[in-house]
């Protein structure tokens, strides 16, 4: 869908382009500065190259912020390239979702969305050139033999018996591989580098393998597919990428990256690979394969389950693009890895929503409070209008949104935990004889409670103190030590509220080969029926709120129906709960 309208208008006004002044400085900007100063490049061209074999996750968000951000900082461009060289695991659904996620994050890619498969023809031609130049050969060993003969860190490799076959013979065999004459696994094309090389990856790495598989874009046109280490540098070079940024695991591949470019060029510009430390987030798994397993095994409701670290999951959870960019800023770009605490991510959301999310009152665990003198002092059936600011501290220069309106009557819902028959030490909320303020309403004095035959409290009793309505002249004549949240029985609306907790109980669920499934938190989702004030029931899907004192919540993008069926997800609590 976005494929045909690539320069994404949404991105224009947002994020990266919002803050050209935010000059980042890290080891990559040092490299770019030096390249520009030395005249090696005049324009910075980066790329974000996801493989379309799953949905993007929070780690990709970092790579997106980095690649698009670097290009923007230097007035260059960033390409969105789908690295679709493996036909077996890839899917068009993923292709679509990736484009949406990148666009949502404000990634404004240059030109069309690009596909590695667009370059299959060029890659093949360059491979023929390597064969002709004596730099590649067709090997008839099995993949197991090749692996065994590669040696390891301490043992040099053993040359293939086919390594010195005549160029003409390799060329003919390679053409027959392409023509589909051989079954999968019969032979491969290998680079002819050095079987005794200190870097094992340089010991005649594979370039092409046979795979009779349907590709989501090229269909059945190809039955040989290039290996990542060969394809990636060529994709970069063909697109004129100047700075090819990847994560540290690819450090040892860099030598091979350079070898392939040196033997297929000259390329201008000549791309260079740079590595940074990937984002590893506590209590999270990030491998797409593992995320897929959670989805397939129905451990979560889908890729966009609000507990998932996917972009779609985070979005449904209430995360904003701005909060994810803030996360990138705070975690920085460096070569030093390590785990990032989940609380850092949550802090970013809290800080972003603080000045944006409208306020509202919701009672998550309701018990009814009855003001027994209401009819006498306020009038039978009287409902008193109240109002409160929707955003108490709007950012500077931002027009505050209209106030919220609701009413108060004889009966209101309060949180069960706000009443104690026998108050623990220091308890300041409702207990017989104590006064509190119903936030934005009146001061009340607690007189007792009613219980059912099992001893469960069904009603809390109180009297209203007249002339104490918030915002009226006499309102603070009566001093109280606490204000509690509430929703009037007369206009409260039932809402489904999904209280999420961490998905895993282990801070490093898949470290050291652990089975991450074993540390799934059985209580990561609790659904409650809450009672919310009318302004919340009128939320638009995806709108974020601060439920006063509880935390930030978002109207669910999928299940919430404005006005008639409110559904909210807990995005993040008001305080850090990870240290507990």
Shortest reach from residue 105's CB to Mg ion, in Å:
19
Per-residue contact track with ligand ATP, 59 to 98, x per CB under 6 A? Answer: xx-xx-----------------------------------
Q: Which residue has the tokens 């693009």?
A: 321
Residue 498 binding partner per list ligand ATP, Mg ion, none, with a CB distance cut-off of 5 to 8 Å that depends on partner kind: none
Which one-letter DSSP state was computed for residue 294?
H
Candidate list 47, 190, 192, 288, residue with the active-site label: 288
Which range touches ligand ATP (CB under 6 A), out of 208-216, 279-287, 402-410, 498-506? 279-287
Which one-letter DSSP state was computed for residue 358?
E
Q: State the residues that interact with Mg ion by CB under 5 A.
A: 51
**Cα gap 337→508, rounded to integer Å:** 14
* Cα 14-498-546 angle, rounded to 5 deg: 50
Whether 288 sits among the annotated catalytic residues: the reply is: yes
Shortest reach from residue 30's CB to ligand ATP, in Å:
19
Residue 59 binding partner per list Mg ion, ligand ATP, none, with a CB distance cut-off of 5 to 8 Å that depends on partner kind: ligand ATP
Q: Which residue has the tokens 């860190």?
A: 153
Single residue of 105, 279, 364, 572 touching ligand ATP by CB under 6 A? 279
DSSP codes joined into one string, 207-247: EEEE----BTTTBTS-SEEE-HHHHHHHHHHHHT-SEEEEE
Q: Which residue has the tokens 């051989």?
A: 182
Please check whether residue 506 is in contact with residue 378, taking contact to mean a CB–CB distance below 8 angstroms.
no
Which range touches ligand ATP (CB under 6 A), out of 141-149, 278-286, 454-462, 523-531? 278-286
Single residue of 150, 165, 278, 549 touching ligand ATP by CB under 6 A? 278
**Cα gap 104→96, rounded to integer Å:** 12
The pairing of strands 224-226 and 206-210 is antiparallel
Please check whether residue 563 is in contact with residue 552, taking contact to mean a CB–CB distance below 8 angstroms.
no
Nearest residue by C-beta to ligand ATP?
A: 59
Which range touches ligand ATP (CB under 6 A), out of 43-51, 155-163, 355-363, 458-466? 43-51
Q: Which is nearer to ligand ATP, 62 or 350 (CB)?
A: 62
Q: Which is nearer to ligand ATP, 327 or 349 (CB)?
A: 327
**Cα gap 34→564, rounded to integer Å:** 59
Shortest reach from residue 49's CB to ligand ATP, in Å:
5
Whether 278 sits among the annotated catalytic residues: the reply is: yes
CA 181 to each of CA 11, 142, 162, 188: distance values in angstroms, whole numbers, following the listed order: 47, 17, 19, 13
Q: Which is nearer to Mg ion, 86 or 323 (CB)?
A: 86
Please check whether residue 123 is in contact with residue 237, taking contact to mean a CB–CB distance below 8 angstroms.
no
Residue 529 binding partner per list ligand ATP, Mg ion, none, with a CB distance cut-off of 5 to 8 Å that depends on partner kind: none
CA 310 to each of CA 58, 113, 319, 381, 411: distance values in angstroms, whole numbers, following the listed order: 6, 21, 11, 50, 43
286 contacts ligand ATP (rule: CB under 6 A): yes
Single residue of 12, 17, 155, 287 touching ligand ATP by CB under 6 A? 287
Residue 62 binding partner per list Mg ion, ligand ATP, none, with a CB distance cut-off of 5 to 8 Å that depends on partner kind: ligand ATP
Q: How many residues bind ligand ATP (CB under 6 A)?
A: 14
Please check whether residue 204 is in contact with residue 171, taking contact to mean a CB–CB distance below 8 angstroms.
no
Please check whether residue 183 is in contact with residue 210, taking contact to mean a CB–CB distance below 8 angstroms.
yes
Q: Which is nearer to ligand ATP, 142 or 334 (CB)?
A: 334
Shortest reach from residue 83's CB to Mg ion, in Å:
8
Q: Which residue has the tokens 């009128």?
A: 538
Shortest reach from residue 23's CB to ligand ATP, in Å:
21
Candidate list 278, 290, 368, 439, residue with the active-site label: 278
SS3 463: strand
Please check whether residue 408 is in contact with residue 488, taking contact to mean a CB–CB distance below 8 angstroms.
yes
Per-residue contact track with ligand ATP, 47 to 66, x per CB under 6 A? Answer: --xxx-------xx-xx---
Residue 524 binding partner per list Mg ion, ligand ATP, none, with a CB distance cut-off of 5 to 8 Å that depends on partner kind: none
Single residue of 118, 247, 293, 577 touching ligand ATP by CB under 6 A? 247
Phi/psi for 325 (5° steps) reads -70, -40
The encoded tokens of residue 458 equal 């069904």
Positive/negative CA dihedral, 253, 255, 258, 260 = negative
Whether 51 sits among the annotated catalytic residues: the reply is: yes
Q: Which is nearer to ligand ATP, 123 or 464 (CB)?
A: 123
Candidate list 24, 51, 384, 565, residue with the active-site label: 51
Binding site for ligand ATP (CB under 6 A): 49-51, 59-60, 62-63, 246-247, 278-279, 286-288
Catalytic residues, which ones? 51, 278, 288
């Amino acid at each position: 869908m976005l494929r045909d309208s690539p320069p994404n208008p949404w991105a224009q006004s947002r994020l990266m382009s919002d803050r050209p002044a935010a000059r980042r400085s890290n080891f990559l900007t040092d490299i770019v500065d030096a390249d520009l100063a030395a005249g090696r490049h005049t324009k910075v061209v980066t790329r974000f190259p996801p493989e379309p074999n799953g949905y993007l996750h929070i780690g990709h968000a970092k790579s997106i912020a980095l690649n698009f951000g670097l290009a923007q900082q230097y007035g260059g461009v960033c390409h969105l390239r789908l690295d679709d060289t493996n036909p077996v695991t890839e899917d068009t659904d993923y292709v679509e979702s990736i484009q949406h996620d990148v666009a949502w994050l404000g990634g404004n890619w240059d030109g069309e969305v690009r596909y590695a498969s667009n370059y299959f023809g060029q890659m093949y031609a360059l491979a023929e050139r390597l064969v002709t130049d004596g730099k590649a050969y067709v090997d008839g060993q099995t993949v197991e033999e090749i692996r065994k003969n590669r040696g390891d860190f301490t043992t040099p490799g053993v040359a293939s018996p086919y390594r010195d076959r005549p160029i003409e013979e390799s060329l003919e065999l390679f053409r027959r591989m392409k023509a589909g004459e051989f079954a999968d696994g019969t032979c491969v094309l290998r680079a002819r580098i050095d079987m005794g090389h200190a870097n094992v990856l340089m010991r005649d790495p594979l370039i092409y393998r046979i795979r009779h598989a349907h590709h989501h874009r090229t269909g059945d046109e190809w039955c040989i597919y290039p290996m990542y280490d060969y394809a990636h540098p060529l994709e970069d070079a063909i697109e004129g990428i100047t700075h090819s940024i990847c994560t540290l695991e690819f450090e040892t591949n860099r030598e091979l990256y350079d070898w392939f470019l040196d033997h297929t060029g000259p390329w201008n510009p000549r791309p260079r690979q740079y590595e940074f430390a990937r984002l590893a987030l506590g209590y999270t798994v990030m491998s797409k394969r593992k995320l897929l397993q959670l989805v397939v095994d129905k451990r979560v409701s889908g890729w966009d389950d609000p507990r998932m670290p996917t972009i779609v999951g985070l979005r449904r959870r209430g995360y904003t693009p701005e909060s994810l960019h803030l996360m990138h800023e705070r975690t920085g770009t460096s070569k030093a890895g390590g785990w990032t605490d989940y609380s850092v991510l949550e802090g970013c959301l809290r800080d972003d929503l603080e000045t944006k999310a409208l306020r509202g009152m919701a009672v998550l665990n309701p018990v009814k409070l009855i003001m027994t003198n209401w009819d006498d002092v306020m009038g039978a059936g009287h409902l008193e209008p109240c109002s409160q600011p929707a955003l108490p501290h709007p950012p500077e220069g931002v027009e505050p949104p209209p106030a919220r309106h609701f009413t108060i009557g004889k009966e209101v819902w309060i949180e069960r935990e706000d009443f104690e028959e026998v108050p623990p030490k220091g308890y300041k909320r409702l207990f017989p004889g104590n006064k509190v303020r119903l936030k934005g309403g009146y001061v009340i004095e607690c007189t007792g409670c009613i219980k059912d035959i099992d001893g469960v409290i069904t009603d809390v009793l109180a009297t209203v103190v007249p002339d104490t309505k918030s915002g009226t002249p006499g309102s603070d004549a009566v001093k109280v030590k606490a204000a509690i949240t509430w929703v009037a029985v007369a206009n409260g609306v039932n809402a489904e509220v999904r209280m999420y907790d961490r998905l895993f109980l282990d801070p490093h669920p898949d470290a050291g080969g652990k089975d991450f499934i074993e540390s799934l938190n059985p209580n990561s989702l609790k659904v409650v029926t809450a009672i919310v004030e009318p302004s919340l029931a009128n939320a638009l899907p995806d709108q974020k709120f601060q439920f006063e004192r509880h935390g930030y919540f978002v109207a669910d993008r999928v299940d919430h129906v404005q006005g008639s069926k409110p559904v909210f997800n807990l995005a993040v609590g008001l305080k850090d709960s990870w240290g507990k």
